[in-house]
């Protein structure tokens, strides 16, 4: 395999395996910052060796073995060597292992609790909410600081500072690498759900790069959500989040055309949706709705997704119900992004003119200053009103703001279509 091909393979392996690798190492060294450093060292070793030796049959196990060898080397040089060595020996004895663990089994374990421990460790109350989210996205999802910044509409420098401070804080506080007890679980759950939600969003609509979706992140978020649902069957918002993710994930096959092009929701062939996932999502939503009290933010978003799932063709979508659900969501979770999504629903339910007025009110919000979906939505509404020259300018602006090449291509196509139709007139 040529060097460029090997480098692409390494990048793909890292995207898939980095979270499990860091989680397994964190359990070993009890320090998430050190675990990430060791994982990065293993990645560097792969970049140096695989172009010559080839990609191993089980690349995840190779990375784990390399990182663990480096961990042992570090422990030997550290003052805490003796204590850590005893801990590792006791762990090996407890698990009934020989000198070295079965690395392939560790990597391929279908229900590996290390990832769940990593989520709760990086979401420890000793950290601020923003720091918990940023660190968990970095370590669990393998997202770059740029991707996290885009997800949160903040600067890259801010995210980078949060991550560095979070790792230092966890290390200084000697936070244990474990799932919290039942008494602590409820208080830690909100930030855990938020982290899983953002990981899913990045997988469902990648903020940058050449891929419109990143299925490995979608699958990881679904997996973590399902684990939480099993552990916390009485928590309606866990089921609400799982429902929302299942319903959105059901559309993945239909979101990409034959040539890799983006297919928007209104144009999707709904027979290509995964109706097994739709069924799972609706069942999870039903569990959330059976709980006493009003629906929470995740369950409300799942209910919005369910409106699309119940419509076998786009024209049958109950947009008035979706507007009502967004009204409820805006009360619980006020956000300019929620308001922008609500404006889209208003435009579908009551016409583009009413929606354009709402979008124009959001135009001055600094949180949306670099958010490409604001001019995207405005361009769509202007096109529907026949104001094609203005619409084309909005699509051009949106294209300049997005960092995803697939999405940029769609926006430039829409800009060109506006110019073409405007010329005919």
Nearest-CA neighbor of 406 among 253, 257, 274? 257
Q: Give the separation between CA 255 and CA 264, rounded to whole angstroms.
A: 6
Length of the chain: 425
Which two three-digit tokens encode residue 17? 């395996």
DSSP 8-state code for residue 387 = -
Which two three-digit tokens encode residue 99? 């000198």
pLDDT at 380: 96
pTM for the complete prediction?
Answer: 0.72
Tens place of pLDDT per residue across the chain (425 aa): 555 677 778 777 777 788 888 888 888 888 888 888 888 888 888 888 888 888 888 888 898 888 888 887 776 666 555 565 566 666 666 655 444 444 344 433 333 468 778 888 888 889 988 898 889 888 877 778 888 887 777 899 999 999 999 999 998 998 888 887 777 777 788 888 988 998 899 889 888 878 888 887 888 889 889 988 887 888 999 999 999 999 999 999 999 988 888 899 999 999 999 999 999 999 999 999 999 888 999 999 999 999 999 999 999 999 999 999 999 999 999 999 999 999 999 999 999 999 999 999 999 899 999 999 999 999 999 999 999 999 999 999 999 999 889 999 999 999 999 988 765 44
Nearest-CA neighbor of 322 among 336, 339, 337, 342? 342
Q: Is 87 left (phi over 0), alpha (psi -120 to 50) or beta?
A: alpha
Annotated domain spans of the chain:
1-109
- The answer to whether 397 and 366 are in contact (CB under 8 A) is no
According to DSSP, the residues that pair with 208 across neighbouring strands are: 403
Q: Give the separation between CA 86 and CA 362, rounded to whole angstroms.
A: 59
Q: Give residue 253's Cα distance to chain centre.
A: 18
pLDDT at 424: 46
Q: Output phi, psi for 160, to 5 deg.
A: -60, -45
In sequence order, which ranges of 274-318 are alpha helices (DSSP H)? 275-290, 297-310
Which two three-digit tokens encode residue 348? 């579908």
Other Cβ atoms closer than 10 A to 326: 21
Q: Is 346 helix (H, G, I), strand (E, B) or coil?
A: helix
pLDDT at 84: 58
- The answer to whether 331 and 272 are in contact (CB under 8 A) is no
- The answer to whether 391 and 410 are in contact (CB under 8 A) is no
Other Cβ atoms closer than 10 A to 95: 9
**Which of 189-194's residues contact partners 24+ apart within 8 Å by CB, and which partners?**
189/228, 189/232, 189/235, 189/237, 189/238, 191/123, 191/129, 191/132, 191/133, 192/119, 192/120, 192/123, 192/136, 192/228, 193/228, 193/237, 193/238, 193/241, 193/298, 194/129, 194/133
35-65 tens-digit pLDDT: 888 888 888 888 888 888 888 888 888 988 8
């Amino acid at each position: 395999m040529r060097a460029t091909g090997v480098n692409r393979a390494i990048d793909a392996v890292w995207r898939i395996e980095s979270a499990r690798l860091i989680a397994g190492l964190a359990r070993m060294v009890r320090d998430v910052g050190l675990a990430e450093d060791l994982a990065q060292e293993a990645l560097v070793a792969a970049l140096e060796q695989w172009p010559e030796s080839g990609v191993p049959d089980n690349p995840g196990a190779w990375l784990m073995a390399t990182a663990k060898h480096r961990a042992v080397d570090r422990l030997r040089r550290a003052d805490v060597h003796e204590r850590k060595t005893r801990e590792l020996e006791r762990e090996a004895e407890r698990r009934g292992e020989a000198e070295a663990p079965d690395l392939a089994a560790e990597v391929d374990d279908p229900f590996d609790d290390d990832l769940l421990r990593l989520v709760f460790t990086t979401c420890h109350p000793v950290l601020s909410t923003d720091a918990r989210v940023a660190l968990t996205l970095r370590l669990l999802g393998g997202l770059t600081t740029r991707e996290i910044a885009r997800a949160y509409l903040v600067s890259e420098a801010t995210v980078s500072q949060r991550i560095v401070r979070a790792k230092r804080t966890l290390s200084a506080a000697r936070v244990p690498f474990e799932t919290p007890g039942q008494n602590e679980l409820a208080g830690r759950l909100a930030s855990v759900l938020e982290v899983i939600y953002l990981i899913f969003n990045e997988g469902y609509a990648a903020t940058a790069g050449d891929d419109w979706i990143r299925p490995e992140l979608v699958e990881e978020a679904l997996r973590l959500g399902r684990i939480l649902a099993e552990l916390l069957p009485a928590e309606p918002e866990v089921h609400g989040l799982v429902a929302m993710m299942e319903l959105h994930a059901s559309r993945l096959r239909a979101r990409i055309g034959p040539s890799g092009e983006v297919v928007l929701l209104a144009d999707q062939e709904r027979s290509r949706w995964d109706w097994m996932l739709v069924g799972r999502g609706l069942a999870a939503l039903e569990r959330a709705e059976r709980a006493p009290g009003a629906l929470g933010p995740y369950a409300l978003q799942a209910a919005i997704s369910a409106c699309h799932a119940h419509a076998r063709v786009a024209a049958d979508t109950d947009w008035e119900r979706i507007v009502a659900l967004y009204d409820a969501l805006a009360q619980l979770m006020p956000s300019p992004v929620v308001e922008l999504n609500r404006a889209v629903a208003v435009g579908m339910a009551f016409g583009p003119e009413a929606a354009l007025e709402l979008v124009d009110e959001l135009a001055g919000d600094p949180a949306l200053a670099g958010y490409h979906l604001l001019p995207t939505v405005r361009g769509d509404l202007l096109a529907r009103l026949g104001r094609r020259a203005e619409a084309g300018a909005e699509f051009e602006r949106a294209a300049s703001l997005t960092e995803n090449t697939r999405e940029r291509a769609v926006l430039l196509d829409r800009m060109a279509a506006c110019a073409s139709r405007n010329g005919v007139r």
